[in-house]
Amino acid sequence: MTAPPPLAMLAELTHRCPLSCPYCSNPLELDKRSDELDTGTWVRVFEEAAAIGVIHLHLSGGEPGARRDLADLVRGAAGAGLYTNLITSGIGLDRPRLEAIAEAGLDHVQLSIQDVDEAAADRVAGLAGSHRRKRDFARMVGEIGLPLTINCVIHRENVARAGDMVHEAVSMGARRVEVAHAQYYGWGLQNRAALMPDREDALAAGETVERLRAELVGTIVIDYVPPDHFARFPKPCVNGWGRQSLNITPRGRVLPCHAAESIPGLEFWNVAEHSLADVWQNSPAFNAFRGTDWMQEPCRSCARKEVDFGGCRCQAMALAGDPRATDPVCSYSPLHHLVREITGGTHEGEGWTPRGREQRAKDEPIPLPVS
């Protein structure tokens, strides 16, 4: 089938990161610095992306500030006519670098925060002083004149402070805040037992955020990503597999979604060997779950099959062991009991495994800006 043009692309420039957040959705086996695409290849990919219809480019990682050529990459993307959004921890980007990136054509900054309490935020991030640095970075973004979005990942330890994080985003000068419950892929899946909040706490957080959305109209835009495991229906993952977006890993593998490599047996093409247009239309991985022909029952005959597209393929793999199964989050799924089993118990006292410490030590260290 001929796929419509993609609208957005996530460029994972590197897996290097100064933080070790336990909910990180990057793969457990991180790409090495020596395997990362070079500047010229990335710029060529940006041009190919624009040529096939991509409008919005997210520059992500790991921490994209670990790339010393970040300003050159932004310049190349802007030259291709792409709207550029830098997704960053704010660690490792001092003012001269941020100004250089802005002058290169950056359109928007998306900054992650882990909590409003400094000690709690630093513990989750795995880096002392990280939250203070994030506040300083947000101030720099505003002074330079770039629009700012704050991203807050919600889990058991901070779920009671979801509303406080919205107010923190306002105080940081953000125009938009995304309050998103943890997604259980990669390290997030590894640490799910320690991260998942109780149902009552998750629902209360949602009610708080919805109340603030009404109260803060005109002050900040609030996007809320509810917790999958407490929903009646699954999220329309990436708005349908291979329909609107694509991801590129640091080493150049092109994925239909961020966690697609968790599905065994898929064949992913690399931008070093195929043009992006060829990948988008012809890659076996992209065509594996396009449309609805791949669906099993009850999805195949469900009126929602082109609403939520059967849910998340990676979540079906993680929970049911079958990427073609109806996402067990769905209340119609014959495997919905698997979700009830996960959410039915309590997990008091269980700790998490910090993400990426061992690999990060092997990579080039990321210098921190002097306060």
Binding-site residues for [4Fe-4S] cluster, in ranges, read 17, 21, 24
Which two three-digit tokens encode residue 121?
Answer: 């935020």
What is the Cα–Cα distance from 5 to 54, expressed in whole angstroms?
7
Contact 187, 26 (CB under 8 A): yes
With beta carbons less than 8 A apart as the criterion, state whether 52 and 277 touch.
yes
Q: Residue type at 298?
A: P
Write out the H or E segment, with its range, that includes residue 201: helix 199-215
Listing DSSP states for 99-154 in one string gives HHHHHTT--EEEEEE--SSHHHHHHHHTSTTHHHHHHHHHHHHHHHT--EEEEEEE
Tokens 């660690």 sit on residue: 91
| Pairing verdict, β 245-248 and 254-255 | antiparallel
Residues 319 and 335 sit within 8 Å (Cβ to Cβ): yes
Closest by Cα among 209, 202, 180 to 25: 180
State the Cα–Cα distance between residues 42 and 314, nearest whole angstrom.
26
Whether omega for the bond prior to residue 62 falls within 30 degrees of 0, making it cis, is yes
Our separate counts of H helices and E strands in the chain read: 14, 9
Query: Using CA atoms, how far apart are residues 140 and 22, in angstroms rounded to an integer?
Result: 27
8 A C-beta contact, residue 190 and residue 177: no
Binding-site residues from annotation: 17, 21, 24
